[in-house]
């Protein structure tokens, strides 16, 4: 198992509502996280974190923009100093502080959306600033406006609730004045107006509800400190004070639900609260306990309780309609109706995920957002490593020396596909295979990289395939990291590793700064790096893998049609796009790293980039070809602008300097002083070589299409 993922949790308050209980239950169900917490208001949640050994800091934060901005600035400094792997903002207010702070501090941020409060423009801003989003209800995914939102529902309790008689005795001990023949209506919620407890109180005063008693389980909320007193006065004014009891907050309140004859979830539009429960954990817990639910409709809870065309697990009412709540109570006086609805609820809720399942989804989302997929896991799947070679006698021994010790599970193997070597590569691989049967040599003369990979994958014995190239230097844990990433819950089918470029001399160093992404920037991108990479590239993208460091499932390879065999370059990124287009998910694994040496001369480097561009043009992929076309247009425009006068030249120079800002910043940060002067030259050579190659490849594609009457085929698995 690799180290746990370091997570900074930001919570909006110290109360123990549904959002907080969701968080605590998931933290309790995983050992893959090391957590510290920031609370924006004090309360019992701080004590719960302390019980779990979670370091907790309280930063009181009001609702005003000034207060939120002040806390965001404070949190930015904290995150820059602590450098966690990822931030989890548990709610809208927490995200309003944490998302901009994490963005400025260079830390990835996941936002948890629990309800429909503040739906609207604020969601667009939070979706823009947050790298990931988890939603506790399916209806919250579109409401979050985040393109990568993931459903992580409130989990079912991990153990059985108390028996009915025991639960009733426990409530009696906690102050509920429950007579033997009385029916018990239970609400479990924070005491805030929009929870609709006042409608339950009012219903007790309606005709035909005299057998019912109300137990209100839940803590006071600092946002509405007078709510308990208001409800007490309401009960007194209606003459039902002797039938309404307040227990305060009870740990593991779900255990007491079997004491009830009905549970009420009566959320209604009021103030700044949500207009409906997005998930309704209490309703789920009641259904699991076989207790009917009275729920306001429409909304996700009522749809779960009384789905259209199916038997109901309770009764739905309109929001703020105490008379309808009373009608539901009168109906539920019938024990047969209560028993039938309870049975329906238990059957429909039995398949709901538990804490371990929901926690695994949360951790997967956090790890993928942090670009550290698989962190905290030890993978169990055997892997087939496929590499293609041709005249690689000088480097194949080093590659196998690095890979063979990483074959740690039964069934692991390395498949070397030779495309027709004449320099002794075959003899060297055969020597390895004679000593270790896990190394296999396939001879496929005349095959290129794509066809060679497809050949090796067809011969592979495992469902999980990894690829790297001769001339790369996998880190000692490279395969273990990819294996662990494959073990994520409902994990990605395409796992894109990373590479670190090396090379000696000013030109090689300048090329490393200009032309390639940096693993650390993928994990901790600063604000300018985010903006620069979004518009100008230079970042690792899970959907654009390279053959140097990648893993995928056989099913993904088959659905993508294999590696495109008509391309000499860009075949790996086109394969990645095809995998995603086929409906598979991709994830970045920045811990799966290989080293890679560049071409030793600028001339060879220009030739390499020309071939890269050629692959883009031949593929006609809009993303790849668009980037190279944009480079050609930009340089043409720069030359034209430079001929128009001094002002235009100054603007062009400033624009070019901005274009070079990221590689120049990297040079300063890494103290590669001798590379600084070479950065502009290398950037120009790289860009023009790729643009020229793209044009050449596109022309070749068009000529081929005219000659054969169609675009070139892709080859693929058979």
pLDDT for 306 beyond 70 = yes
Which 3 state secondary structure label does DSSP give 109?
strand
Question: Is residue 228 within 8 Å of residue 193, measured between CB atoms?
Answer: no
Confidence band, pLDDT 50/70/90 cuts, at residue 615: confident
Q: What would the two tokens of residue 498 be?
A: 């990373």
Rounded-to-integer distance, Cα 93 and Cα 605, Å? 50
pLDDT for 700 beyond 90 = no
Which carries the bigger pLDDT value, residue 273 or residue 623? 623
The length of the chain is 718
The values of phi and psi at residue 220, to 5°, are -65, 155
pTM for the full predicted model = 0.89
Q: What would the two tokens of residue 212 be?
A: 């019912």
User: What is the maximum span of the chain, computed from C-alpha positions, in angstroms?
Assistant: 98
Residue-wise pLDDT for 648-685, tens only, equals 888 888 988 988 899 999 989 888 888 889 889 888 88
Distant-in-sequence, close-in-space partners of 341: CB < 8 Å, separation ≥ 6: 292, 311, 312, 313, 314, 315, 332
Residue-wise pLDDT for 345-383, tens only, equals 999 998 899 999 999 999 999 999 999 999 999 999 999
**Percent of the chain beyond pLDDT 90?**
66
Mean pLDDT of 609-616: 81
Rounded-to-integer distance, Cα 283 and Cα 99, Å? 31
Mean pLDDT of 237-244: 96
Which 3 state secondary structure label does DSSP give 162?
coil
Residue-wise pLDDT for 522-532, tens only, equals 999 999 999 88
Residue-wise pLDDT for 443-489, tens only, equals 999 999 999 999 999 999 999 999 999 989 999 999 999 999 999 99
Q: What would the two tokens of residue 240 be?
A: 């039902």
Q: What is the mean pLDDT of the chain?
A: 91
3-state secondary structure 311-365: CCCEEEECCCCHHHHHHHHHHCCCHHHHHHHHHHHHHHHCCCCEHHHHHHHHHHH
Q: At which residue do the structure tokens 């006068």 appear?
A: 645
Say what the pLDDT of residue 568 is.
Answer: 79
Sheet holding 5-11, edge to edge: 56-58, 33-39, 5-11, 86-90, 108-113, 132-135, 149-151
Rounded-to-integer distance, Cα 610 and Cα 570, Å? 12
Q: What would the two tokens of residue 692 be?
A: 């020229």
Beta strands in 170-231 (DSSP E): 183-188, 212-217
Give, rounded to a whole angstrom, the gap between the first and last alpha carbons of the chain.
36
Say what the pLDDT of residue 709 is.
Answer: 59
Q: Where are the alpha helices (DSSP H) in 118-259?
A: 121-129, 140-144, 164-173, 197-203, 227-238
CA 328 to chain centroid: 41
Question: Is residue 331 within 8 Å of residue 337, measured between CB atoms?
Answer: yes
Say what the pLDDT of residue 718 is.
Answer: 45
Q: CA angle 633-638-639, nearest 5°?
A: 100
Q: What would the two tokens of residue 456 be?
A: 């090796």
3-state secondary structure 259-323: HCCEEEECCCCCCCCCCCCCCCHHHHHHHHCCCCEEEECCCHHHHHHCCCCCCCCEEEECCCCHH
Half-sphere exposure of 445 (CA within 13 A, CB side): 4
Half-sphere exposure of 181 (CA within 13 A, CB side): 2
**Percent of the chain beyond pLDDT 70?**
97
pLDDT for 560 beyond 80 = yes
Which carries the bigger pLDDT value, residue 192 or residue 713? 192
Mean pLDDT of 336-343: 96
Confidence band, pLDDT 50/70/90 cuts, at residue 712: low
Q: Sign of dihedral through CA atoms 88, 93, 99, 101? A: negative
H or E element in which residue 417 lies: strand 413-418
If you ran DSSP here, which 8-state letter would residue 561 be given? Answer: T
pLDDT for 273 beyond 60 = no
Question: Is residue 371 within 8 Å of residue 108, measured between CB atoms?
Answer: yes
pLDDT for 272 beyond 60 = no
Rounded-to-integer distance, Cα 434 and Cα 432, Å? 5
Question: Is residue 533 within 8 Å of residue 682, measured between CB atoms?
Answer: no
Buried-state track 533-555, b at ≥16 Cβ within 10 A, e below 16: beeeebbbbbbbbbbbbbbbbbe
Confidence band, pLDDT 50/70/90 cuts, at residue 277: low
Sheet holding 464-467, edge to edge: 439-443, 413-418, 383-389, 464-467, 550-553, 494-502, 586-597, 472-474
Buried-state track 597-634, b at ≥16 Cβ within 10 A, e below 16: ebbeebeebbebbbbbbbbbbbbbbeebbebbbebbee
Q: At which residue do the structure tokens 């549904």 appear?
A: 18
Which 3 state secondary structure label does DSSP give 411?
coil
Residue-wise pLDDT for 414-444, tens only, equals 999 999 999 999 999 999 999 999 999 999 9
Which value, to the nearest 10 degrees, does the dihedral of the CA atoms of residues 474, 476, 479, 482 take? -90
Half-sphere exposure of 378 (CA within 13 A, CB side): 4
Say what the pLDDT of residue 617 is.
Answer: 81
Say what the pLDDT of residue 715 is.
Answer: 47
Question: Is residue 94 within 8 Å of residue 40, measured between CB atoms?
Answer: yes
Helix/strand/coil percent split, the chain, to 5: 50, 15, 35
pLDDT for 713 beyond 60 = no
Burial class (CB in 10 A: 0-12, 13-18, 19+), 118: middle
Q: CA angle 101-488-518, nearest 5°?
A: 50
């Amino acid at each position: 198992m690799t180290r746990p993922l370091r997570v900074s949790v930001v919570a909006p308050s110290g109360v123990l509502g549904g959002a907080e209980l969701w968080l605590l239950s998931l933290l309790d169900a995983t050992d893959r996280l090391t957590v510290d917490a920031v609370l924006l208001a004090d309360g019992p949640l701080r004590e719960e974190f302390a019980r779990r050994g979670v370091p907790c800091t309280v930063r009181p934060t009001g609702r005003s923009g000034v207060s939120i901005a002040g806390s965001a600035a404070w949190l930015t400094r904290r995150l820059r100093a602590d450098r966690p792997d990822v931030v989890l903002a548990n709610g809208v207010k927490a995200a309003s502080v944490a998302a901009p702070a994490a963005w400025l501090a260079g830390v990835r941020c996941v936002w948890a959306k629990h309800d429909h409060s503040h739906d609207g423009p604020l969601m667009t801003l939070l979706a823009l600033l947050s790298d990931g989003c988890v939603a506790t209800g399916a209806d919250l995914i579109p409401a979050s406006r985040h393109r990568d939102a993931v459903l992580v529902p409130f989990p079912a309790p991990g153990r059985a609730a108390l028996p009915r008689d025991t639960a009733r005795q426990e409530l009696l001990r906690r102050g509920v004045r429950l007579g033997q023949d009385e029916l018990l209506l239970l609400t479990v919620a924070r005491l805030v107006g929009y929870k609709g407890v006042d409608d339950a109180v009012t219903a007790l005063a309606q005709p035909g509800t005299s057998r019912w008693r109300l137990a209100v389980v839940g803590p006071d909320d600092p946002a509405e400190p007078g709510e308990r007193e208001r409800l007490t006065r309401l009960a007194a004014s209606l003459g039902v004070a002797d039938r309404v009891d307040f227990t305060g907050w009870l740990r593991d309140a779900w255990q007491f639900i079997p004491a009830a004859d009905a549970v009420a979830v009566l959320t209604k539009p009021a103030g700044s609260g949500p207009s409906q429960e997005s998930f309704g954990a209490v309703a789920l817990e009641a259904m699991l306990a076989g207790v009917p639910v009275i729920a306001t409709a429409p909304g996700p809870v009522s749809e779960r309780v009384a789905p259209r065309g199916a038997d109901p697990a309770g009764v739905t009412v309109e929001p703020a309609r105490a008379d309808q709540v009373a009608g539901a109570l009168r109906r539920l006086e019938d024990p047969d109706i209560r028993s039938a609805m309870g049975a329906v609820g238990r059957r429909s809720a039995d398949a709901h995920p538990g804490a371990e399942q929901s926690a695994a989804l949360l951790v997967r989302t956090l790890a993928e957002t942090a670009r550290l997929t698989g962190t905290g896991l030890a993978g169990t799947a055997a892997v087939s490593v496929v590499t293609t070679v041709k005249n690689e006698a000088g480097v194949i021994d080093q590659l196998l020396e690095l890979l063979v010790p990483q074959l740690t599970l039964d069934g692991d193997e390395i498949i070397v596909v030779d495309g027709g070597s004449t320099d002794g590569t075959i003899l060297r691989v055969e020597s390895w295979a004679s000593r270790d049967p896990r190394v296999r040599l396939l001879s496929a003369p005349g095959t290129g990289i794509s066809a060679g990979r497809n050949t090796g994958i067809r011969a592979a014995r495992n469902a999980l395939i990894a690829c790297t190239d001769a001339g790369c230097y996998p880190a000692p844990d490279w395969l273990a990291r990819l294996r662990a990433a494959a073990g994520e819950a409902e994990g990605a089918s395409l796992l894109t590793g990373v590479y670190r470029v090396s090379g000696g001399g000013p030109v090689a160093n300048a090329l490393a700064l200009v032309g390639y992404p940096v693993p650390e920037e993928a994990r901790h991108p600063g604000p300018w790096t985010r903006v620069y990479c979004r518009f100008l590239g230079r970042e690792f993208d899970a959907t654009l893998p390279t053959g140097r460091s990648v893993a995928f499932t056989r099913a993904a390879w088959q659905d993508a049609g294999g590696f495109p065999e008509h391309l000499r370059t860009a075949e790996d990124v086109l394969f990645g796009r095809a995998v995603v287009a086929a409906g598979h998910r991709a994830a970045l694994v920045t811990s799966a790293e290989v080293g890679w040496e560049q071409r030793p001369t600028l001339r060879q480097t220009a030739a390499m980039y020309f071939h890269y561009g050629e692959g883009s043009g031949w593929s006609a992929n809009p993303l790849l070809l668009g980037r190279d076309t944009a480079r050609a247009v930009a340089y043409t425009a720069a030359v034209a602008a430079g001929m128009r006068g001094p002002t235009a030249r100054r603007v062009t120079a400033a624009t070019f300097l901005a274009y070079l800002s990221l590689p120049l910043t990297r040079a300063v940060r890494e103290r590669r002083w001798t590379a600084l002067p070479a950065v502009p030259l290398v950037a120009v050579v790289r860009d023009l070589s790729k643009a020229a190659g793209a044009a050449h490849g596109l022309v070749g594609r068009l000529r081929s299409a005219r000659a054969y009457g169609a675009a070139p085929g892709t080859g693929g698995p058979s």
